Structure 1
């Protein structure tokens, strides 16, 4: 569904140049439900904006379904945003029109696309658990209900891909779980590919795959364990963590490993026939070693 290779995004002003993505690689399968996590400034929101057709890549490759987003025209980009991708913002003011009811909000993108279908709009609100709030306006809905309306709006034109930017960032734990359950239902029952960007690492509990971005590059992945076994740490319970190696053999060592070994910008590598061992330069064997694969 998504293929990014060597993806670069550079923001330029008169006085400064910021590299938000510096050769990022990412694959997302059709029908997958996954999260992209990272600290502020890691590049995760920049990536989401490019996948949503809201920003243009500087270099590299970004393909969503049949669309090459590096080569599309402005007219094709409008069609892409109308029919292929649905977008959900953390700030509900960007998702909803406050003077319209929940039902009318869902009908708006249908009308803009020339495919108004009230019965379908009602059905979408029923899917997200708001069948009894059809005629409620924004100020009559809780934050979680507003976010569920936003999901229904994003589904209005039958997108193949649903993108969510910090969709649970302003919600409490119980409401956040409700919203995540809606995403899971949409993913499983409707077959929509779901990509959620967040800084909340606890989402590793709630999706099948988590990709961590650091400094504009994919660094690690958490994959759900098939045996269902729970790991002892809080983050990624029931998931296995992997470092990501790109096509030219680069990987990002987790920051906590580097700090523990007092590694700055150089390491020594050893290969014993079965595994690669990384340790600080000139470190004695048996001291401060860390096996990475």
Structure 2
């Protein structure tokens, strides 16, 4: 569904250039539900905006559902955003029109696409647990209910890919669990590919695969170890780490580049250089010896 190779994004402001993505590689299978995590400034939101057609990549390759987003024309981009990708924002104001009912909000993208399917709009609101609230205006809905309307809006044009940017960032733990349950249900029943950007490790623990981004590159992947994802989320709430519920892997790209976790480098006292040896089974990375140590 998604294939990024050597993806680069450079933002320019006057004489200053900021490289947000520095050759990122990422593959996401059709029907997969996965999360992207990273610190502020790591490049995760930039990646999401590129996948959503909101930003253009500077270089590299990025293909989504058969669309080449590096070469796509402006008129094709409109069609891509209407038919291929749906978006759920953390800020409800970017998803919802306050003077419309929940049902009318879900129907709005259909209207822009030229065909309103009221039965499907109602079905979506039932899926997100708002069967009895679909005719309410937004001020009559709680924050969690508004976010569930936003999910229904993101699905209204039957996209192949749903992108969610911190979808539970402004709701409580119970509502967060409910929203993740909705994502898992639509992923299973519709087969839609879902990519969630989050800094919440509890949320990340509830998907099969997590990709960590650091300094504009994919650094680590975590694959599900615990089949009970709800229990995995609770384990993290009780003080566990993502490694306790997922198996961690370092990502190696096609030319052999990898990012060694900073805590490993600090523990081994490795700075700008390192020595590397292959003993026939393992690759061993160590801090280089000083000239004095070599003489001895």
* TM-score, normalising length: structure 1: 0.93
Question: What is the aligned counterpart of 1:251 among 254, 258, 278?
Answer: 258
Map of 1:53-68 to 2, 5 A cutoff?
53-68=53-68
CA contact (8 A) 1:3 1:27 kept: yes
Q: Aligned pair 1:263/2:270, yes or no?
A: yes
The answer as to whether partners of 1:9 and 1:19 remain within 8 angstroms in 2 is yes
CA contact (8 A) 1:204 1:222 kept: no
Question: Residues of 1 paired with 2:199 and 2:257: CA distance?
Answer: 24
Equivalent-residue separation in structure 2 for 1:235 and 1:162 (angstroms):
23
Q: TM-score, normalised by structure 2?
A: 0.92
> How large is the Cα RMSD of the aligned pairs?
1.6
User: What SS does the aligned partner of 2:4 have?
Assistant: strand
2:204 aligned partner: 204
Q: Number of matched residues?
A: 283
SS across alignment from 2:60: strand
Q: Following the alignment from structure 1 to structure 2, what is the Cα–Cα distance between the partners of residues 195 and 218? A: 15
What residue ranges of structure 1 are gaps of 5+ in the alignment?
284-293
Output aligned runs, 1:1-293, within 5 Å. Answer: 1-225=1-225, 233-282=240-289
Give the drift of 1:234. Answer: 2.1
Q: Quote how far apart the aligned CAs of 1:233 are.
A: 4.2
* Deviation for aligned residue 1:135: 1.0
How far did residue 115 of structure 1 move?
1.2
Secondary structure of the residue aligned to 2:242 is: coil
Q: Offset of 1:159 from its aligned partner?
A: 0.2
Alignment correspondent of 2:294: none
Kept in 1, the 8 Å contact 2:168–2:176? The answer is: yes
C-alpha distance in structure 2 between counterparts of 1:183 and 1:112, whole Å: 24
Higher helix share: 2
Q: Secondary structure at the match of 1:25?
A: strand
Deviation at 1:203, TM superposition (A): 2.3
Counterpart for residue 290 of structure 1: none
Which string of whole-angstrom CA distances, capped at 9 and with x for unpartnered residues, describes residues 183-239 of structure 1? 111101110000001111222320000000000000000001277797994224321
Most deviating of 54-63 and 258-267? 258-267
Instruction: Answer yes or no: is the 8 Å Cα contact 2:198–2:204 preserved in 1.
Output: no
- Give the match for residue 287 of structure 1: none
1:15: how far off? 2.7
Q: Which blocks of at least 5 consecutive residues in structure 2 are unaligned?
A: 291-296
Structure 1 residue 100, shift from structure 2 partner:
0.6
